[in-house]
Amino acid sequence: MTRFSVLLLAPLSLTLACNLGGKPIGDSGSNSGDSSSTDDTGSSNNGTTIADIRTGVVPLDVPYTLEHLIVTSPHSSNDKFLFVQDAGGGPNSGMALYDKSLMADIFAVPGDEVTVVGTPSDYYGWTEFTEDSVTITGSGTVPPAIDLGDGTTVTDWDPYESVLITLSNQAVTAVDSYNTGMLSPASSTSTSGVALNNGFYDATVECGGTYPSITGILFFEYSAYTINPRDATDMTDPVLGAVQPATCSDVQLGICGAVALTDVVVTSDSWTKNGDEFFFVQDNGGGENSGLLIDIVGGTYAVTVGDTVSMTGATTEAYGLTEVLISDTSTMATTGTATPVATEITSVPTDFEPYEDCLVTLDSVDVTSDPSAYGDVTTSWGVNVDDLFYSFTAANGDHYNTVTGPLYYAYSTWYVEPRSASDLN
C-alpha cells in the first residue's frame, strides 16, 4: 500500500454557549458592549485581537475577551470546531475555537459577528482558543480568502494557520483511506506543503486530478498542514489526468489516478461485499509489490484463477489496502491464461507491506489459536490464516509445512487467504 502521513481530526471538542438573542447562555449580565478592561470572568477586554495572540504581542494561557470576530466556517465534520477571524482578515487573523463538549447549541454561521471569552493555548503547535462563551453580536462579512497562488512561494505556512486561504492549480498525487489527498502544484515537481482534507465537507478527492482552485481553512495537525474546504463551492471540478499504462507494481509503488492494467494474472476467485465484486490479481511472475485488489463498483465480471485480464480503472487506498476501482466493466477483457506464481517467504519479514495483495507461500507455520468467531486463526508468523475463500479446520498447536494464498490487509491485521485445501500443506 502507498504510505504517507494520515491526517486525522485531532480529538478536541467544543461547545459554544450562545442563543439567538445575542447573550451567552447562563450570563445574566448586559449585552451592551461594556468597554471596561475586565469582565466578570476575569478576562482582559482591552481590544485584544487574534493577530495579537498569534504574533505573541500578548501571551498564551491568559483569559481574554475577543470582540468583533467574524465566523468563517460551519461546524467541523466531527462537530468539535468552529473557526473565527479578525474582521480585517490577513495573515495571523484566524483561530480555532474549541471546548470539551460538542457544539450542539451553537447557532453561529459564517458571516456572524461574535464576541468570544476564553483562553488561548498551544495544542501540539496549533493555537486554539478554549471558549467560555460565544455571543452573536451582529452580522458582518467573511474576510476574503488569502490567495496564495500554487503555494510554491510560501516559505512558512504558520501565519495562515486557521485562516481562510485559496490555492490554485493543485494536483492530487496520492489519496489515503481517509480521503486525504496529497497536493502538489501541477506546474512543479515539489509539493505544496499541504494536503486536501475533509474537516468540514467530505468531498470526493480525485487522485491524479488537478484542481484549478481550492479554498478552505488551513488546519495544523500531527505536524502537517491541511486545507479544508467548507462546502462544494470551495472547490472547482478537477481536470482529470490521462489514463496511464501501469503494472500492479507501479500502482503499489505510488502511481496515482487512472491506470490501464494489461494481462495481469487472476490469483483468486471473486467475492461480493456491499454490492461490489472483488478479486486479487498480480503481475505475471509475482514478486514483491506485484499484487493488487480489484474492486468492481456495483458490477460483476467472471474470472477464474489463472486468467489474464486487462482493464482500466482508478487507483485508491481503502482502509490501508491498495485497490484499483473499476467503474466500467466494458474496459475489462480476458486475454488468456497464465500460471499464478506464489512468492515464497521463508522467514518473518520486518514488514509485510511489499507482499500486500500478492500470492505468497509462508514456510513452517504454527497455529497459535483456535478459530475465532470469524473463522480465522493466529499463527507464529504474526499473520492470521483466514477463510475468505476456503473453510478449513485448524486448532491451536496445529502445524503447516506451507500456507499459500493472497495476502490481505483488514482491521489492522494481515491475513493469508488459502483458496483450497491444496494451499494448506
- Separation between Cα atoms, residue 274 and residue 318, nearest integer Å: 14
Quick check: 203 pLDDT over 90?
Answer: no
pLDDT digits (tens, 9 = 90+) for 139-170: 999 999 999 999 999 999 999 999 999 999 99
Quick check: 72 pLDDT over 80?
Answer: yes
Domain ranges for the chain: 146-234, 244-337, 343-423
- Mean pLDDT of all residues in the chain? 87
Q: Cβ contacts of residue 155 below 8 Å, gap of 6+?
A: none
pTM of the shown model: 0.69
Mean pLDDT value across residues 66-92:
93
Mean pLDDT value across residues 187-205:
80
The pLDDT of residue 79: 74
Quick check: 191 pLDDT over 70?
Answer: no
Mean pLDDT value across residues 343-357:
97
The pLDDT of residue 318: 81
Matching fold, domains 146-234 and 343-423? yes
**Band of pLDDT at residue 103, cut at 50, 70 and 90:** low
Of 241 and 302, the structure prediction assigns the larger pLDDT to: 302
Q: 272 forms bridges with which residues in the sheet?
A: 277
The percent of residues in the chain predicted with pLDDT above 90, rounded, is 72
Q: Would you tell me which CATH number, out of the four given (3.40.50.720, 3.30.830.10, 3.40.50.2300, 2.40.50.140), belongs to the domain 244-337?
A: 2.40.50.140
The pLDDT of residue 13: 32
Quick check: 314 pLDDT over 70?
Answer: yes
Report the range of poorest mean pLDDT among 16-25, 41-50, 202-211: 16-25
Q: Would you tell me which CATH number, out of the four given (2.30.230, 3.30.70, 1.20.120, 2.40.50), belongs to the domain 146-234?
A: 2.40.50
Fold observed for domain 343-423? OB fold (Dihydrolipoamide Acetyltransferase, E2P) (2.40.50)
HSE-up of residue 401 (Cα within 13 Å, Cβ side): 2
Mean pLDDT value across residues 49-59:
97
The pLDDT of residue 363: 98
Mean pLDDT value across residues 396-410:
97
Of 237 and 416, the structure prediction assigns the larger pLDDT to: 416
The pLDDT of residue 104: 61
pLDDT digits (tens, 9 = 90+) for 1-18: 443 333 333 333 333 333
Of 186 and 335, the structure prediction assigns the larger pLDDT to: 335
Contact (CB, 8 A) for 252 and 261: no
The percent of residues in the chain predicted with pLDDT above 70, rounded, is 86
